[in-house]
Each structure stands twice: as structure tokens, then as C-alpha cells.
Structure 1
Amino acid sequence: MALRIHLLGDFSIEVDGEQLPAVDSVRLQSVLAYLLLHSRARQSRQHVAFQLWPDSNEEQARRNLRKALHQLRHALPDPDRFLHVDARTVQWRADAPYTLDVDAFENELRRAAGLTDNPATQQAALAAAVAWYRGDLLPSCYDEWIVPERERLRQRLVGALERLMGLAEDHRDYAAAIDHANHLLRYDPLHEAAYRQLMRLHALNDDRAGALRVYHTCVATLQRELGVEPNPEAQAVYARLLEMEVPTSLHVQPASPSLAGERLVGRQQEWQMLRTAWQQVAHGQTHFCLIQGEAGIGKTRLAEELLAWTERQGIATARTRSYAAAGGLAYTPVIEWLRSEPLQAALATLDDIWLTELARLLPELLAERPGLPRPEPLADRWQRQRLFEALARAFLAAPSGPPQPKLLVIDDLQWCDADTLEWLRYLLHFAGRVAERGRSLTPLLVVGTARAEEIDHDHPLSALLLDLRSTGQVTEIALGPLDAAECAELATQLTNTTLDEETINQLYAQTEGNPLFIVETVRARVGDWRRETGDSSHSLRSPVS
């Protein structure tokens, strides 16, 4: 005979599926809850009486406890299996045959805490924990002893939902992340960070109107409950959303057709590393991230995923690339960045002394501003340093309002000129010095891609990485091939159909998991598959690797 007890949400106690109606008073439920939640040790009757009846004198409190224990013993089947009661102490027997939803909730959370290396299993454990939490701990009980325990459990729920949001976003399952955020706000409607996160998730889910509605709800709730406005971070997210009609990004002749509309296959760990780097930038740091791998391994695709992810949140981005033929032309990628919309807006905030330096790379500034002094020839090293500082100020300047992070992407760094790489090193160090002085700047995440096989010890990129490793300003991501399951998933996306196991095995063996090779092989064989299967529905979709 086992008891099934629920303290989270509506109280209930069942024996073999049947309710025990005798435990129907709030006072008796409070006594039972106290004993259940303190079952690890025997409790002094005097202490229990004081906790449950703090406003009564000692004699009256002990009499009330004695009466409650008598009622509880009559309500429970075979009470001696569940309760230990003597003249001095009382205890709910921990080895009794029963289940308690509070225990189940916390057990699942403990299990999840040990699964950090297995996100899928951790997600399942967290979801199981949240499912046990049907409501706050005994919401009908107003005893003082229960308030801190109720709040503790609620905060554990909030933590679980925050983690579930993060895991769902890591998998780019924005609909699920939105559900978790809404669930959190039902229990903590004053959680400003959750409103901020929910706005961002709606934007990532291509629902700008939904994101704006969340902000309006946040404003109304905070004003009604606390008489305050949302914090500056939430207001900044709202401001970005209002300006989202025209994406603020520059796409300089992409290396391949845009891929961000398709779901990224695999790369969960690498995506998390990018997200972690972005979080550092969101907290005011400037950071460099290098994605390395062989040709066709998906470096550009991963960078494009981050571009799409940030643009959907209204974050300013700019993209460029290096070319093998242009490797000897200094600052070519920097010039492309400077001519993007986000950087053009920042130029308007600079003083003439810095604009004069920038005119070395942007001669159109002299035409747009006839009174701007012309730059002198770069004869000395100090003049080059002033150019570097002018460029750094242009990239770190905030056009108006609080500084908002920017994302800069540069493809094919293996062909990048030495001057640009040297300036990138200066930019990251300059940003670090400015941040140490407490001055406001626009935090940047610079993401580069490079073919690892073309970067040797003497390449200028190697010197940049060596320097940034010492300051902790770099994240290095090495992309390897897709595994067999990911190869099958990519082929399914490309053909919009499910291929048989033999075909997938052949495809994986031929391509060795290289996404570009998978795309090209599918492109070449899709006609054969149509003829073999007689299915005219096979059609090649955009590459997604």
C-alpha cells in the first residue's frame, strides 16, 4: 500500500489511486507538509509546535500539535508505517512506501545537474522536473515556515526553465524556447531578464510583432506592480526591434548562395561556442572568433547562421571576405566594413582629426566634407598608429544611446593582407584598454573563417592568434566532418525526401562527411535517384552545410 502525495499546486494524497478525504483541512495539510519536507531527521515536538503555531503559547501549541497528529493518524492507512511519534519527537518515516512530487522534482533537477556533457538527456531530465511542478508549494497555506521553502522551490523552477530556454535556443528550436519563457513568466511575472529573452526569441522566430507585444506587456506589468520602467537593457532590445525594417548588414559578394534560411545540420558544440563568445560581447567585451577547417567543411555556413541569428534580433552586422588575388592590397576587408551601413552611422560621430585619417582609405569623405583637412603621407610609424586608432574609434563608436554590440564577419582569412590582421590585433587590444578605463564603447564580435591547411607558422594570422590567446580574447573553433547520421539529415534536407540506408551509407563513404562533397554528390546523383525510385518529387534544395 503506497501513498502518492502532491504538495506542488493543489494538495492531494492518494492510496492506490483513491483520494484520502480525511486530510482536507489546510491546517492538517500544513502539518503533513512540514513532516514530509523534514523527514530526514526526527523533529522535536516543541520545535514543530512552535513552527506551526508561532502565535500561540507553548502549552496551546503543543495541544494543537497533539490534536493534529491524532487526526493524521486516523486519516492514514496503517499510520505506524508512515509516522513515528513518541513523547518528545515526531517524524515522517523516510523509508515508508510513498512518493512525493517535491522529492521527484528535486531528484530530476539533481539528475540534470550531472548531465552537463549530454545536453539531450539533460533537457529530458529538466523537462521531467518541470512537469512535476504543477504549482507553488501549498499555495493555500500562509504559515511563515513555508514561505522560504516555497520561494526556494520556485527559484529552482525558474533556473530549470532558464536552462531549458538555453538548450532549446542552442538547438535553434525557438518555438520551444518561447514556451519555456512564457512558462517562467507565469511564475515570475517581474522577471525582466525573461522578458528580454522572450523578446529576443520572438525576433529569432521571425515574429517581430510578438517581440514588441512582449515589451508592452513588460512595461504594463512593471508599471502596475512596481511603478517602474523596464531597465535600459530591455529598452535597448525594444529600440533595436523598432529599427528592424531594413536589415543593417552588408553582404559583399557571398561565397555561396545564402544559406541562413535552411536549418543548420549538426554543429551543436560549435554553435554553443559561438553563442558563448557572443555572450561575452553582450556583456561589453570585444572578442575574436576563428572558425577553421578544410575547404567545404561548412565554415561559412556556420558564420552565416550567426549572422542570421543576430540580424533577426535587430543587431547591426557587417560582412566581408578576402580574395587570393587581393592579398597584396592593404585594408581591403576593412574598407568594405567601413562602407557598410552600421559603420557609416558611426563615422558621423567622429571628430575631423580621425576622419582625416580615415580619408586615406575612404577618399569619398573628402568629397562629402570639402572642409576636411587632407591626410599627410604615411612617412613615420606614429602616423600609422594614428590611422590604426582612427579605425578603432570608427568601429567602436556608438552612434547614439547606450552602446549596442555589433557582429563583423570576414571569410577566407588565409588570404587576408598582413596590414588588416595587424590592425585587428590593435583593435582588440585598444578595446581592452578602453574597457579597463571604464569608458563606453561598442562591443564587437569579429568572426573569421580560414582554411586550416593554408595557415602555417609564418602566416600573419598565426601571430594574431598567439597574441590573443595570451589575453583570452579569442575563441578557436575547429570544424570536422559530419557523422553518418548528420550526413543522412543533410541529404534529406537537400532532396526533400528520405533516402534508403544503402544510399546514405554510399554517400557517406564517398564524401567522408564533407558537407560540400555531400551537396555536390547529391546534386550529381539526384537525377539517378529519380529514375531508380520512379519518384519525381526528388528535388535539390539549397545547400545547408
Structure 2
Amino acid sequence: MESRDGVAAERQAGWHARVLGYAHLEGPDGQRVRMDRRAATLLAYLGVEGPSSKAAVSLLLWPDSPPATVRNNMRQLLRRLRLGCGGTDLVDGDAQRLGLSPHVTLDLARLKGAAGRPLPPDVLQALRQGTGVGLLPGVHFDDCDELSRWLDGARAAVEGWVRSAREAEVQRRMDTRDWTTALALAQAWVQHEPESEQAGRHLIRLHYLLGDRGAALAAFERLRTTLSHDLGVSPMPETLALVRGIEKDAQWMAAPSSPRPALPMSVLRPPVLAGRRHALRQLQEGLEAGQLLFITGDAGSGKTRLAEEFAASVGTWFRLEARPGDQEVPYASQTRALRAYLARRPGLSMPDWVRTELSRILPELGNAAALPPLTSEADALRFYEAHAEAMRLLHEGDEVIVVDDVQYWDQASAKLFMYSLTRMMEQKHAAAARPPLFIDCYRKGELPPYSEANVRKLVDTGLARVIELGPLALDAVRELLAGLELPGAEPHAEALTRYTGGNPLYIVETLKHLIETDALQKDWPRRLPPPGRVGPLIQRRLERLSPLARLTAQLAARADLHFRAALAPEALQVSAAELHEALTELEAAQLLVAERFTHDLVFEAVHASVSDSAACFLHGRLARTFERDGAPAIVLAHHWMEAGQEERALPFLLAAAHSDERLLPKGQAAGHYARAAALLEAAGRAREAASAREAEARCRQTEATPTPGSSGVER
């Protein structure tokens, strides 16, 4: 254990800069000197980034000042630091570079470099107390966007370093049987992250090792309550096993952690499509009848797998998908579909009038000239006809199109697609060409009203049929397990069926969990997370990720349909190599593949794992990154709103309303105007609010105006 003498000995070495917690300088004689926000941020920047370009750092601190002023400001800043330390230079450099002087030690740099080594006494003391470990709390740079972005990223990095330092130091203290220090660290960790089961297990274990069995069991009850209330999960088997041993008052020794076993390929994609023979017969009958096919079922019931297997048996096929969030952006689903079609056929020639009309939702097809809004039914008809002609050309030769997650399809896209499909069906009778077979998959009970009504119309007129997938029966589960060829799996068939309710995804996720916890060839666990929920299992896989991989997954969940790996390095302030490593880890864990989540339930579990404060941070980083990338106004408005910065969201919300008003339907534009008006009213901007209300009323009046396709069916 360290003594005060160790800290005193450190002070004799020179000046110490503290940027974790309250920013200040400490001298060799114990004196304290306050630092202003830019001085503290300069030292933090050099501690994180190392020696840096003087010009780049200066522009970061004073982005809007003339070059001469910037240079003078930097000279004055360095001079203030030097005078505050009695003439000691804390920053070395020349006209080109800046770096930390050997005369100063920085707590942030020592935390960053502590991996694998004992913590310095002052950093250890801060972690033990549970305070003073955040980077420059309360410091903001709303007037310096680039600097604010860097500070957000550095704070996220510090949070990861703190977590890693706590874990390593607790383990080191336990290995040396310094349980008292380890207990103080674990208590501070639990106070900072009460939902961390890893921290909770350390606390339970250390109370017991120190002879306080009652405190250990009380710590477990607090952990169980937090997990249930905040995350909706139960403690992991490792935690339950630890507590059972304590309840028996048995001697317990920590077992070394082992690497996670690799998941067999058969589990990543089961080779046998079990229990779906009846559904396959219905699909074949629908194909022969020339019907549009809908596959529905609960989340994880195997809708997509069945559609893909059947499509492959028919011929060449292509897969599209809608994504959560599409319903908030008119034409989002169909725009994505069109871009996917065009990417398959880059040399396709389309009439000029078709390209011009499509440029309303695909600007890259236009000539950069703004088109007039659709103000009449004739204008809208031309837009719809252009899309129908494009669909006919793009689908020539296609045999099967699989459309996944139709429950997310936005209303404008649905109307546009169904108008085009109707035209294709009409042309089928007038020509030999046959439109492709469309197989649409959606979650049972989650279709929006406009889609649910239209599915009924299609089925009632004989143009479509719905194939509903139920859970797997026991025999089908046995068939699935036999196809996996996993030693030890088949004896669990009855328990798996009971535990998962026969949901194929739950079965596979449960098997992954049993493999990763080395429990597959043992008796069925006495306790597992509640049946019917895959979220707790995914939550445990999230906890095993590195901090950057977990943060990348959470960023992807908050970015939703707009996530692109190319933008993540800027949003997270990491290098491309670091991001590649994180994405590789996420793919290995079967959470993220090709910039999308492996399943909607994975997306939902990751999305729910983000705390409110972390969500504000991530949405702020996404808003800034998307703003640079030229994302749609409604996307920027959404992220600024979620970041809690309504003032910055307002101009984008109004821009989105103006943009939506140029296209149908008017109801969504009216909704954006109404939201903007409410924000303006709350901000006391009465005149602008009144203008937004007038625009809302204008859109409401035209909302009910008939449009092409309104008398037909919609998706």
C-alpha cells in the first residue's frame, strides 16, 4: 500500500498538472495554481496526442481569429503558464511543434500509460476515491466546434482508460492479497458504474474474502436490483455461482479467466432449415399462382432465412431491406432500394425525363438544378410514372426480390412502390415480360396501419398470400440440433424448446451463450435469463467487448440507418486502423456485419445499452459528423434534438419541413412544422413560431388531396 511519503516524494520532482477533475497545477512545495480552460485543454491535448503541430493546436484553440492574433494568443498562453509556475516551462517547443516539458507530469498522460503497470499513487488515490477521474468536467467550447469535438472524443477515451485501469489494478491487488485497497477501488467502481456486473462481482468477492459475508450478500442484492430495474436482465451464471458458494460459506478462490471459445460455423448459420416444410409448400404455391408473397412471424422466427432459401431455389435473387427510422424520412426506403438497383446495373440507360424526375429523391441523377415542387396532380403523376418506368427497366431479367423488415417501410415509399408494382402487373398482361417474384418479410403485429390495410386488400383480391411462421416444435428443434452437429447439444432439445419457446434465433443465441460459457456439455443451467428474451444474452456478449468495440456498436445503433463505417473514425475520434479492429471484433461476436446489425433484436439490445448521458454524447458526435457529410436536414435535426441542443436542431427541422413540402405526403411536413413551432414558442420567438404554424396549417389543408395511387393499394 502506498503512503503519503510516496506522494510527497513525487512532488519533489517538479510540477504536476491535473486535468482529471478540477484543473490546476501543483508545485514541488505543495502550492496550487489555477489554470484557465484553454491552458488546461492545451496540456490535455498534448497529453493525449503527444507532440503536435503548433499551428494546428493554435487554430484549434482560436479558430475564428486572424493568424497574427492566433500566434499572439499562443505566446500569451504559454507565458501565463510559465509565470504561474515561477518561470518553469511546462510546454516545450519551437515555431513548428509543441510538447509537454520534462519538468511537468500530467495525470492524464500517466493514466493513459498505466496499462500493464502499477498505477502512480495520485492516479490510484483518485480511482480509490471515485472522484476526479473525468476529463475537465464543466469545461465547454461551444464557440470552437473542432475543439469541442476533440474534447468529446478525449473524454470518451478517458472513460475507457479509467475502466481498464480499475480492472487491472483491482486484479493486481487481489493477486497480491491487498484486499483492502482492492475493495476501495471496487467500491468506487460500483459507485461510478452500478450496472457493471464485472465491478459488482469484484465487490461481492472482496467483501467475502475480507470476512464480511453479510456485506457480500447485500452487494449482490443491490446488483441484482440494479440489473433488473435498469437493464431488465438477471445476473450472469458466473455471478450466481459465486453467490451460491458464499451462501454455503464455502471457500472460494478466483479462477483465471480463459479466452472465449470460437463459435462454430454451423451455429453462425445453421445448415438445416428445420420445421418449415409447410411454409415452403405455401411459397411454391404462391409462386405458381404469380402472387406477391408475404412472410410474417415473431422476431427471430426465421423469416429472412426462409425467404432467402426459397429465393435461391427459384433462381437469381436480390435482397433489399428497410431499417428502423425509415418511417421518419419520406422516400427513405425506396431511395435506398433504387440506389441498390442502380449499383447492380451501372450502365443502364434511362430516358432523360425519367432521370430528371427521379432526381427529386436521387439528386445524383440530376444536373444540380433545383426542380419545382409537385404542385398539381399532373406533376405528381409524372413523378410516379417515371418511377414505374425505372422499376420496369431495373427489374428486367430479375427472378426474385426479397424485401426484409417491411414493417419499417415509410409511407411515401410504400405508395410509390405499389403504384409501380401495379403498373408492372398491368404491363405483364400486355407483353411477354414477367415481373419478378417479390417476397416481403415483416414482423407479426408490427406493420403500420397503412401497410396492414393494403396487405389485406392484396390478399382479398388474390394478388398476394401471407405465410405465417410459428415457433418450432420439439421434433423440429431436434432436427435443427442434429444438423448443427454440436457435441452435447442434442440432449438439451427439450430444455431448449421450453426455454426459447421454439424461436430459432433464441435457440441459436442460447447455444452461443452455452458455448462461450463452456456449459454446452454440462447439465442444463439451473438459472438463465427469462425465457422469451434474447436481449439479456446479447447484453452479456456486449460486456465482453473491448471499450472501443462496444462504443462503435452503440454509435451504429444511434446512427441507425445512416451508419457508415467511413464516418465512424471522425465521430469517435479514432484512427481507421483502430476502427477496423473494433469492427472485426464486432463481426467475430456476430453483432455487426457489413455495417448493419445481424438482427433487429441485436440492434435493440445495443440501443438499450446506451445510458442517457452517453446517448446525448453520441448523438452530438453524429450530428457534427453528419453535418460535415451533408446528411438530410431531418437526420441532422433528429441528432441535435437527441443531443439536447434544440437551438441547433431548429434550422434543420425547418429545412426538413420546407423540403418535405415539395414532395408528398404533406402530413409529414406538417408534423415537422408543428414540432419546430413548439420549440420556437418555448424559446420566446413568437413571430417565427407563428410563421411555422401557418406553414403547418397550409400542409394540413392539402394533406387530404388525392394523389396518384391513392385509389389503389399501398405497401
Greater share of helix: 2
TM-score by length of 2: 0.33
TM-score by length of 1: 0.43
